[in-house]
Amino acid sequence: MKPIHLLLVFSIALTASFAAFSGCVSDRGQPGVYNNETETLSYRGEQLTPIAQQRNNAIQGTQYIDRGDYRLQVDGLVENPRNFTYEEIIGLPQTSKVVELNCVEGWSFNAKWTGVRIAEIFEETGAMENAATVIFYSADGYSTSLDKDYLLENDIILAYRLNDVTLPPERGFPLQLVAEDKYGYKWAKWIVRIELTDSPYKGFWEERGFNNTADVGGPAFERRR
């Protein structure tokens, strides 16, 4: 084969593979852009699930919260109960990590989450020593709780960005709890209030029989006595 023919064959092969690849990309509904923001689809060698392919679940459907009117109320066993604006929250030190969400129904997805460590919120408000349980209340009437120690020991974050895109309304804007290693029902969305208490608490699904510990891989239901 003459070099010119080789070049021709090579460029045809290149064009064909490029066309096949971009065809595959458009089949998935334009990953890489979501709500006019650039979406990150891999991070530190890990593949992320595009937001358009992530499942979501909510007892009352999507909640639409106005960014300007939003307040995060933090109260209970804290020295300085406080209402944070959205701007105040995003102004706190920021952390990112890749974490998989596992719904107890059996589906999961992997994503990059960016937000503020709960520890920062506790520092800002002066969480008291005797606070053992942290309750998250959401705009749709949902609630759930986790141990304060679990939140601190695992650097648990309140996320306001998902795959580097502003957390969309259908996914929990402004804040979703990234409850690493816990089933999806601990991942409260549309959080409006955080209460610290010294007593145990059962949230929406926990009250209906789901395990209050909610460790991924552990039992989905509370043992009956």
Ligand X SMILES: Nc1nc2c(c(=O)[nH]1)N[C@H]1C(S)=C(S)[C@@H](COP(=O)(O)O)O[C@H]1N2
Q: Does 54 bind ligand X (CB under 6 A)?
A: yes
Site string (185-224) toward ligand X, x via CB under 6 A? x-xxxx----------------------------------
Q: How far is the CB of 188 from ligand X (least distance, A)?
A: 5
Q: How far is the CB of 184 from ligand X (least distance, A)?
A: 2
User: Which of 22-30, 48-56, 67-75, 115-123 is the region at the interface with ligand X (rule: CB under 6 A)?
Assistant: 48-56
Q: How far is the CB of 183 from Mo ion (least distance, A)?
A: 7
Please answer whether residues 203 and 171 qualify as being in contact, where contact means their C-beta atoms are separated by less than 8 angstroms. no
Encoded amino acid at 76, one letter: G
Report residue 89 as tokens: 């929250």
The phi and psi torsions of 85 (rounded to 5 degrees) equal -80, 165
Of 35 and 130, which has the nearer Cβ to ligand X? Answer: 35
Please answer whether residues 204 and 217 qualify as being in contact, where contact means their C-beta atoms are separated by less than 8 angstroms. no
Site string (50-79) toward Mo ion, x via CB under 5 A? -------x----------------------
Please classify residue 50 by burial: count the beta carbons closer than 10 Å to its beta carbon, then call 0-12 exposed, 13-18 middle and 19+ buried: buried
Q: Is the dihedral of CA 154, 206, 51, 137 positive or negative?
A: negative
Q: Does 203 bind Mo ion (CB under 5 A)?
A: no
Encoded amino acid at 225, one letter: R
Q: Residues for the chain: how many in total?
A: 225
Report residue 108 as tokens: 């999961």
Residues 125-164 that bind ligand X (CB under 6 A): 138, 140, 142
Q: Which residues bind ligand X (CB under 6 A)?
A: 54-59, 101, 103, 138, 140, 142, 171, 176, 184-185, 187-190
